Amino acid sequence: MKEQLDTLENESRADLAGVTDLQSLEEYRVKWLGRKSPLTDILRSMKDLAPEDRKLVGQGANAIKQAASEAVESKKSELEAVSDSVPNQIIDFSLPGRQPQQGHQHLITQLTNEMVEVFSDLGFQVAEGPDIESEYYNFDSLNTPADHPARDSHDTFYVKPGIVLRTHTSPVQMRIMEKFQPPVAVIMPGRVYRVDYDASHSPMFNQLEGLLVDTNVTFGDLKGTIEHFLHKIFGKNVKTRFRPHFFPFTEPSAEVDVSCSVCEGSGCRLCKNSGWIEILGCGMVDPEVFKHADYDYDTYTGFAFGMGIDRIALLRHSINTIHHLYENDLRFLEQF
């Protein structure tokens, strides 16, 4: 039996010398420390030995087993250290690098900047104002009577009596006119809020207002400015139409439609089967508004316009609902 133990010890050392990686080390561990190892067989057969031989055989087998166990732990640490210092795979430096994913401006921000650039080229300045407004700036100074439907709670968010979430960026027009005498040419991009919700409306959306006041300003100047802008944004082939309308702060007034880019005029959910989508409202500034600004309406005339940036984004990119802009779905946002 002693000769058998000496043979197993020599075999164990020889097998350990052949271990070169973690896989072969695991094979060594299973062979010499597993349930079916030759050492386990010897320990199980000790019941058949004479009492005086059991102690010697047991000590010899356990010594070999202990040595094998210590060798496994030592070899494992050695191989893992080598593995950490050497790449697991060959790197092909001729392959192109992987571009790390980066964030980008939201579609609305991109479009707002582009719209601002178009009007800046025409000489308009950019102005901003507060999202929370008084009724005076949001309605009264813009010639909106107290009984106007737009002032009802089903159309306007009231913070408290006399204070609203602005329903348009037009209040900035009055704040500018109070500070500066003509000539004035400003645009006012920003968020606005209305109690509205469907495929083309959201309770919070983005709008851009414009105001130009000077001597001898005509509706023809307004029409030329609007058409120049729409052709820059949608291309020269876009169809436009001006429809007479009424706004409290402009007279005469008009709504401007563009041909629907989703259905190309055949009718769809976005354009409510009309083939056209209202893109903005505009008109000549009402003299009553000039009175609040202390402008001489016999000397000066001007025009104003307001448009939804979100709606322009829908039309330009054939997006079928405004809500995609606010759902933060990367599958949608990464397209822009």
Hunting for tokens 């990119």 — which residue is that?
317
User: For residues 108 and 37, which has the higher predicted lDDT (pLDDT)?
Assistant: 108
Sequence-distant contacts of 230-234: CB under 8 A, at least 24 apart: 230/256, 230/258, 230/279, 232/118, 233/114, 233/115, 233/118, 233/312, 233/316, 234/258, 234/261, 234/315, 234/316
pLDDT of residue 88: 54
CA distance 270 to 313: 13
Query: Residue 134 CA to chain centroid, in angstroms?
Result: 32
CA distance 282 to 280: 7
List of residues 6+ apart from 252 with CB closer than 8 A: 219, 244, 283, 284
User: For residues 32 and 298, which has the higher predicted lDDT (pLDDT)?
Assistant: 298
Task: Give the pLDDT mean for 68-94.
Answer: 75
Q: Assess contact for 296 and 271: CB atoms under 8 A.
A: no
91-110 pLDDT, tens digit per residue, is 778 888 888 878 889 999 99
Please give the class, per CATH, of domain 107-333: alpha beta
Q: Assess contact for 212 and 187: CB atoms under 8 A.
A: no
Listing DSSP states for 224-265 in one string gives HHHHHHHHHHH-TT--EEEEEEEETTEEEEEEEEEE-TTTTT
Residue 315: which pLDDT band, with cuts at 50, 70 and 90? confident
- As to burial, measured by CB atoms within 10 angstroms (0-12 exposed, 13-18 middle, 19+ buried), residue 100 is exposed
Cis peptide before 252 (omega within 30 of 0): yes
- Say what the pTM is: 0.66
Spell out the domain ranges in the chain: 2-85, 107-333
163-200 pLDDT, tens digit per residue, is 999 999 999 999 999 999 999 999 999 999 998 776 65
CA distance 207 to 112: 9
Model confidence at 252: pLDDT above 70? yes
Residue 322 DSSP symbol:
G
Helix, strand or coil, per DSSP, at residue 275: coil
